Amino acid sequence: MSAIASSSSTSAPQPNSGGIITQPPPPSTLRESRIATHSHIKGLGLADDGTAMDFSQGFIGQTLAREALGLHLSLLKMGRHSGRPLLLVGPPGTGKTALALALSQELGSKVPFCAMVGSEVYSGEVKKTEVLGSCFRRAIGLRIKETKEVYEGEVTELTPSEAENPLSGYGKTISHVIVGLKTVKGTKQLRLDPSVYEAIQKERVVIGDVIYIEANTGAVKRVGRSDAYASEYDLEAEEYVPLPKGDVHKRKELVQDVTLNDLDMANAKPQGGQDIMSVMGQLVKGGRTEVTDKLRKEINKVVDKYIEQGVAELVPGVLFIDEVHMLDMECFTYLNRALESPMSPYVVLASNRGICTIRGTEYDGILGSSSEGIRSPHGIPIDLLDRCMIVKTSLYRKEEIKRILEMRCKIEGIQITGEALDRLAEQGEKTSLRFVLQLLTPSNILNKTKGAVGAGVSVEDVLELNELFLDAKRSTGILKDLEDLENKY
């Protein structure tokens, strides 16, 4: 109890004996759910023998690529993925990003997945290698198992005790708070520090809620509303939980999943010293913090120590770098070294380019020179390309495009006629899958504005949209005609 009474922080990260913080700050916001481009992808859609099914888990087509990723998934689960990056190559709109997302879905929500684009490394605030390094660390998880002393139960009493403010003759301050907790086995009354009362207020705890309080840190977590109050009517949707079993005071094993980047960020930010100069320094410094190699080595030492003691477990995740041809020679050199590190995630690269110039090799250092630079397949140096296991994606056929359109119409709640679906599938085979997918929602809006009720989007709606919007091939053809006309005159 004395540990709780003397607690001065309820939600700040806690350093261990070595001074390294192993608990990152909790996420502040949650992303709203919406229908995204790949929200229908739930997995690779493989059978038990590893063969790709025609339609499963939201995936249609790309059977060879899915089977190849299934084998790589087995490598990842066996822990034999280190130094073997996977390169997805193919035309735009053939499902490279969808394959990477399907791989992350197969691994589960507990395995970290970090997706980035090659152009993200070019920042004016931090170095290119620092951006890549933080993404590597974001894709490596750490599962920490801790046994903590907690007080758990349903709140039966919540009484703050006031006292005269010793610093001023006016007003009062909270000296302590009395909290009554009840379980199936019994009840207990706790006399807690004012800082714990602040944490209780932040969690919006009221009488009848089930909470637990950590004895060492004084952190408070609201589990939910006791199911004894489930018969009450409330305007807000409430989660009801059963009354905890056992004693109020117990030892509980807690599992926390963090990434190495979370530990880097928690230790890179200055702790304490909240004077005006430190606050102004943080404002001037900007949002992105560059983590030094020295700090990362110290964190790695603590992580290794935890793994040896059996307190933590390393969980290698997936780093997906899309448009990898946008990286330059400096980044590719860093990738070569990072892939050989013992702490390396599973790296998936994707590119839609053929033979092109490697960025960063266009100039040979002589003023006024116009060197073409080194040309290489997919814009990747040969030494890194030699490490990669390359998987090719192919263009979708008409039948596959039609099934994908049917599925997206079902997800987005769009009614469409069979003739319009066939027309869009034919158009998708000639233009691209992305173009016809983009036409679905506008065609539905067009159909509703006409006041058409019944079958849904018709062929006339699709033809009208083709007059309003151009695909890439038609737009290129118009530009070529204009260029020829200019050359003629």
Average pLDDT, the chain: 80
Name the domain boundary from 325, 358, 392: 392
Cβ proximity of 268 and 294 under 8 Å: no
Q: Examine the domain organization and report whether 245 and 152 are in the same domain.
A: yes
Question: Could you tell me if 332 and 388 lie in one domain?
Answer: yes
> Does 251 lie in the same domain as 151?
yes
Q: Choose the weakest-confidence range: 8-12, 362-366, 368-372.
A: 8-12
**What pLDDT score does 324 carry?**
92
pTM of the model: 0.68
Within 10 angstroms of residue 370's Cβ, the number of other Cβ atoms is 8
DSSP string, 171-235: SEEEEEEEEEEE-SS-EEEEEE-HHHHHHHHHTT--TTEEEEEETTT--EEEEEEEGGGTTS--S
| 175 and 72, same domain (yes or no) | no
Tokens 């949650």, residue located: 30
Q: Would you state the pLDDT for residue 3?
A: 42
- Please tell me the predicted confidence (pLDDT) of residue 277: 44
Answer with the residue of higher pLDDT: 208 or 13: 208
User: Residue 124 sits in which domain range?
Assistant: 55-139+317-392
Instruction: For residues 218 and 124, state if they share a domain.
Output: no
How many other C-beta atoms lie within 10 A of the C-beta of residue 145? 13
Average pLDDT over residues 367-379: 73
Closest by CA position to 238, among listed 213, 212, 198, 206 = 206
Domain total for the chain? 3
Is a pLDDT exceeding 50 seen at residue 288?
Answer: yes
Say whether both 187 and 250 belong to one domain. yes
Residue 46 near residue 99 (C-beta atoms within 8 A): no
The string of pLDDT tens digits covering residues 419-451 is: 888 889 988 888 888 888 888 888 888 888 887
Mean pLDDT of 252-263: 83
Residue 482 has a pLDDT of 87
For residues 69-75, give the mean pLDDT: 83
Whether residue 237 is predicted with pLDDT greater than 60 in this model: the reply is no
Within 10 Å of residue 404's Cβ, how many Cβ atoms?
23
Q: Cα–Cα distance between 451 and 464 in angstroms, integer?
A: 16
> What CATH number is given to the structural domain containing 422?
1.10.8.60
What pLDDT does 313 receive? 86
Positive or negative, the CA dihedral 416, 422, 424, 428 is positive
Shared domain check, 473 and 408: yes
Is residue 109 included in any domain, yes or no?
yes
**Same domain, yes or no, for 123 and 99?**
yes
- Is residue 383 a part of any domain in this protein? yes
Residue 238 located in a structural domain: yes
Please tell me whether residues 177 and 252 are part of one structural domain.
Answer: yes
Q: What is the CATH number of the domain that holds 381?
A: 3.40.50.300
SS3 category, 164: strand
CATH of the domain at 240: 2.40.50.360
Q: Are residues 128 and 208 in the same domain?
A: no
Average pLDDT over residues 468-484: 87
Distance CA 103, CA 389 (A): 15
Alpha helix locations (H) across 215-327?
260-268, 276-285, 293-309
- Whether 129 shows a pLDDT value over 80: the answer reads yes
On the 0-12 / 13-18 / 19+ scale of CB atoms within 10 A, 132 is buried
pLDDT (average), residues 80-93: 81
Report if residue 43 sits inside a domain: no
Q: Does residue 227 lie in a domain region?
A: yes
Question: Residue 89 — pLDDT band, cuts 50, 70, 90?
Answer: very high
pLDDT computed for residue 284 by the predictor: 47
Weakest mean pLDDT among 121-130, 204-213, 281-290, 314-323: 281-290
Residues 8, 150 within the same domain = yes
Residue 21 is predicted with a pLDDT of 59
Mention every residue, 6+ apart, whose C-beta is less than 8 A from residue 304: none
Last residue of a domain, one of 368, 392, 416: 392
Q: Identify the H or E element spanning 458.
A: none
Query: Would residue 270 count as lying in a domain?
Result: no
| Residue 79, pLDDT score | 67
Q: Which of 231, 257, 283 is the last residue of a domain?
A: 257
30: pLDDT confidence band, cut at 50, 70 and 90?
very low
344 part of a folded domain: yes
24-33, 213-222, 379-388, 402-411: lowest mean pLDDT where? 24-33
Q: How many CA atoms lie within 13 A of 373 on its CB side?
A: 16
Q: How far is CA 483 from CA 154, 301, 350, 469, in A?
A: 77, 63, 34, 21
- Per residue in 394-426, pLDDT (tens digit) is 888 888 888 888 888 888 888 888 888 888 998
295 belongs to a structural domain: no
Whether residue 239 is found in the same domain as residue 157:
yes
Is the predicted pLDDT of residue 250 greater than 60, yes or no?
yes
The more confident residue out of 351 and 341 is 351
